[in-house]
Structure 1
Amino acid sequence: MIWKATHHKLALGCSLISIFLIFLDTTIVNLALPIIEHSFRTSRYAIEWIINGYTISFAAILLGAGALTDFFGIKNIFLIGLFIFAFSSVGCGLSHTINFLNGFRVLQGIGAALILPSSLKLATRGILEQDRKLIISYWAAAGGLGLAMGPFLGGVLISIFDWYSIFFINIFICLPILIYIFFYFPKEKPNFKFKFDFLGQILLSSSLACLIFFFVELPNLGLTSYIVQTSFLIFFITISTFIIYERKIANPLLPIQIYKNLNILITSLQGFLFNFMFYGILFTLTYYYFGYLKLSILYSGIAFLPFTGFVVIGNLYSHKMSKKYGDLKTLQIANCFILLSILIIVMSLYFKLNETILFVVLPIIGLSSGLIVPILTSQVLHGSVSTLHGSISAGFNTLRQLGGAVGIAIFGPLLGLKQDMLTGIVICFILCSISALISLVSNFFIKKPTTT
């Protein structure tokens, strides 16, 4: 089959829609959480797994998804990922218990992880080198737009239908893409010469799952619980084995030596801290709008726009800011604005000042957050050889997703404190400010790039 220019455009469209969809599903569920909690009459701890189940499976599989794409081919992995995503979306919408819903969310995260690298390769397949940067910027913007629009679209769908609609909507988007790619995208033969680190993938997935289980269940069961103790013990054993094993094999899932480069290590930790803060704010605002201010689902979704909408604007202006002030300076400015803005929110909530202060400050946090992500993504690759870029980028994105999961695991119990909800909300924002402060300080330890 001749791969014509028309097919290039349609494949690009499929790629952009799919990346929009998987990031949309990281935030579209936020406003559904209180509704699902009430509908299933379940605990806050179980509800956290609706987000964390997706995030952790996404993070764990993402590290090896790029290698799987190289092994089985773009078309095969993209179709498998999209089918898993669509199938699990149906399962989520039809779930009648919280355990079934959480199980299908884990499956959905696996599908999303397979879609991410294969969709990028789908978008850039066969294009000219001078067009590659532009296509990648479109691809990244589509993901950012999905992340930003999630709470708003979730609010609209839930207010018109019910919580299950946020999952069923995926079917109508996935089906035409599946049909088009299946029939029109060129077939590829698996690259059997490529060796995939299956054991490393299993060890990493197990360790991440046990770590998040430990954080989620610790406030519920306590440190004396054998389940909590066992989960931490398994985490320690699996992550230790993973590190030792990855240092010895020829084709590791994650080359551990890359973190000897201080710049890569600090920037990766900044990615963790950023998602801890960002997802923490999203999670906290959900309960602040719907639980404390008693806004309707629709108005709660609209109330997110001053925050999430400005993230997209920040993404678009990030390159210009970086070019004018440099990466480090831009990161310092953005983190300063985030820190000051969160402190203003803490003071306004603590002293119960007018709520409009929040809506004035949130756009600043959103804009600053939008500036940070593209720069961190670029900064983590500075000073490293190109052959390690895939591993460094995958490790960076995995740590980012882990940061979001840890944030939600910690913030969930705080928002369910027996004292008034406002106290828990204030504590959550204080933790976000600490995260921003650590990120700001860590910028001063980044040195001029050196080759890894």
Structure 2
Amino acid sequence: MDLTAGAPVRYSTPAGRWVLLATVLGSSLAFIDSTVVNIALPEIGRDLGSDAAGLQWTVNGYALSLASLVLLGGSLGDRYGRKRIFLLGVSWFALASLLCGLAPDVEVLIAARVLQGIGGALLTPGALAILEASFAAEDRSRAIGAWSGLGGIGGAIGPFLGGWLVEIGDWRYIFLINVPLALIVLLIAAKHVPESRNAAAARQIDYAGVLTGAAGLAGLTYGFTAWPEHGPGDPMVLLSLALGAGGMVAFVLVERRSPHPMLPLRIFGNKAFSGANLVTFLVYAANGGVFFLFVVNLQVVAGFTPLASGISLLPLTALMLVLSARAGALSQRTGPRILMTVGPLICAVALVMMSRIGAGAGYWVDVLPAVVIFGLGLSTLVAPLTATALGALEDSYAGIASGVNNAVARAAGLLSVAVLPLAAGLGGGNLTDAGQLHPVYRNTMLICAGLMVAGALLAYLLVPRRLPAHTPARSFCDPCAPPVQSPEGVRSAR
């Protein structure tokens, strides 16, 4: 049985609003930081004299530690208290952000970004687990829907915030602003969020799973990032890719044999859950490429200011704010398959349009139509995708389902930033040189469009028209406990 501080809260009460506000603001720190840095990459490159690999690692250092440790963060919350680990993550994130803002060179900045990712891995899964544990069963889906929509909006608003901060000062402000925001989250959460933990969670930590998973992601990421500069025959590139592939194989073997796995592989026997996560991987790989290069291309090639390039994505934010909840409600009536198929196809059309944005592009004619269509596609897709990933398994697996989907999305974005510039023909080029950047940008957008089409096809083939009804867990606040009846719950949605 979970241990909680008091009775479950209701969505419509002040207590429920405070819990939702704390988790949304905390999650937004990590979500926004995934995109806000991209707008400042040209300025960081010029100020610190960084090459393309350094800029890629400024993004990937954060994503690597976040993707590698997000499952561990969820496990620690279940064991030692979700509120406690959430507060630890927010505090860690704030201190790492301060170090980023004070970094004297790109090497220190990359190291600080890795530390930031650790904080994000502690706070991100804890936010959703707190919602699961705190809200009454009848209000839980509504609270998770609000968290998902608002968190997505936080990620989308990052480029605007980054552009404004770079414009009024310098790139360091995008990190330093996290410190007062984190203090607000700490004050709200400490006072209003109840503590909870899963007393049924294993006491042991899956250290072997953590190490092999991190080694696999790190090896693949370093190898693909170093490939353009050093070539595929370089010993370090070959060694890193071999280490990455071996680490991922070892991770699967460890998780199959572990009595207390960080990632119980049996949940992938559920076709809807596996399908939703495959779609997540393709879609978020495409999104990673778009948000990494789109605003950079606007500044370096099209000549937009940092603020103008950030503002260019505001329509996307507005569309997600207005339409995400409606898409979620429509998905409940029609089933997730239709929207998860149509959404990526709309995004693919937008990305083909984005690939044509080059020198002399105008906002109203060239940029806005593509951004609006992309926003419509994401608004159609994100809520049904999240709901399917969380709802495909029995209620007792909600916490695990959330952690897996989060890790898949982060790993997809991580690998896309490493691989897509290579696949698009970057070579040893410079992302701050217009002549070298534009063909890479154009090819990347077309590759991302292909990933969206592939995601739509997988959604149509693997996601059911309707998710099955599940037997509720006996405790409203035990999302990560073993199944209530038997392991058959994992297989019921095939």
Same fold, TM-score > 0.5, yes or no = yes
- Mapped partners of 1:188, 1:49: distance in 2: 36
Q: Is the 8 A contact 2:77 2:197 kept in 1?
A: no
RMSD: 2.7
Match of 1:226 in 2: 235
Match of 2:105 among 59, 81, 97: 97
- In structure 2, the gaps of 5 or more residues are 468-491
Query: What does 1:64-143 correspond to in 2, within 5 Å?
Result: 64-123=72-131, 125-143=133-151
Change (3 A) 1:50 1:308: farther
Letter in 1 for 2:493: T
Q: Is the 8 A contact 1:54 1:106 kept in 2?
A: yes
Residue 160 of structure 1 and its aligned partner are, at CA, apart by 0.8
Change (3 A) 1:8 1:420: closer
Q: Answer yes or no: is 1:217 the counterpart of 2:259.
A: no
Letter in 2 for 1:430: L
- Mapped partners of 1:350, 1:95: distance in 2: 33
- Relative to the length of structure 1, the TM-score reads 0.91
Match of 2:324 in 1: 315
Letter in 2 for 1:274: V
Letter in 2 for 1:196: I
SS of equivalent to 1:29: helix
Letter in 1 for 2:321: V
Q: Answer yes or no: is 1:427 the counterpart of 2:435.
A: no
Match of 2:346 in 1: 337
Letter in 1 for 2:181: I
Match of 1:384 among 393, 399, 422: 393
Query: What does 1:38-437 correspond to in 2, within 5 Å?
Result: 38-123=46-131, 125-182=133-190, 194-346=203-355, 348-349=356-357, 356-381=365-390, 383-413=392-422, 414=424, 416=429, 420-437=436-453
Match of 1:443 in 2: 459
Residue 124 of structure 1 and its aligned partner are, at CA, apart by 5.0
- Mapped partners of 1:386, 1:127: distance in 2: 14
Q: Is the 8 A contact 1:279 1:408 kept in 2?
A: yes
Deviations 1:431-450 (A, max 9, x none): 01110121122233226465
- In structure 1, the gaps of 5 or more residues are none
Change (3 A) 1:313 1:364: farther
Residue 179 of structure 1 and its aligned partner are, at CA, apart by 4.2
Residue 343 of structure 1 and its aligned partner are, at CA, apart by 2.7
Residue 280 of structure 1 and its aligned partner are, at CA, apart by 1.1
Q: Answer yes or no: is 1:21 the counterpart of 2:29.
A: yes
Q: Is the 8 A contact 1:12 1:122 kept in 2?
A: no
Q: Is the 8 A contact 1:57 1:205 kept in 2?
A: yes
SS of equivalent to 1:28: helix
- Mapped partners of 1:290, 1:190: distance in 2: 48
Residue 32 of structure 1 and its aligned partner are, at CA, apart by 0.6
Mean CA deviation greater in 192-201 or 93-102: 192-201
Residue 398 of structure 1 and its aligned partner are, at CA, apart by 1.2
Mean CA deviation greater in 54-63 or 299-308: 299-308
Q: How many residues align?
A: 451
Letter in 2 for 1:270: V
Q: Is the 8 A contact 2:79 2:198 kept in 1?
A: yes
Q: Is the 8 A contact 2:302 2:358 kept in 1?
A: no
- Mapped partners of 2:361, 2:27: distance in 1: 39
Residue 220 of structure 1 and its aligned partner are, at CA, apart by 1.5
Deviations 1:32-55 (A, max 9, x none): 100000111111111111111111
- Mapped partners of 1:279, 1:393: distance in 2: 19
Mean CA deviation greater in 353-362 or 72-81: 353-362
Residue 7 of structure 1 and its aligned partner are, at CA, apart by 5.6
Match of 2:480 in 1: none
Deviations 1:123-146 (A, max 9, x none): 455432222222222221221121
What percentage of aligned pairs have identical amino acids?
Answer: 26
- Mapped partners of 2:333, 2:306: distance in 1: 41
Residue 9 of structure 1 and its aligned partner are, at CA, apart by 4.2
Letter in 2 for 1:301: G
Change (3 A) 1:369 1:225: same
Q: Is the 8 A contact 1:292 1:421 kept in 2?
A: yes
Larger helix fraction of residues: 1
- Relative to the length of structure 2, the TM-score reads 0.84
Q: Is the 8 A contact 2:224 2:241 kept in 1?
A: no
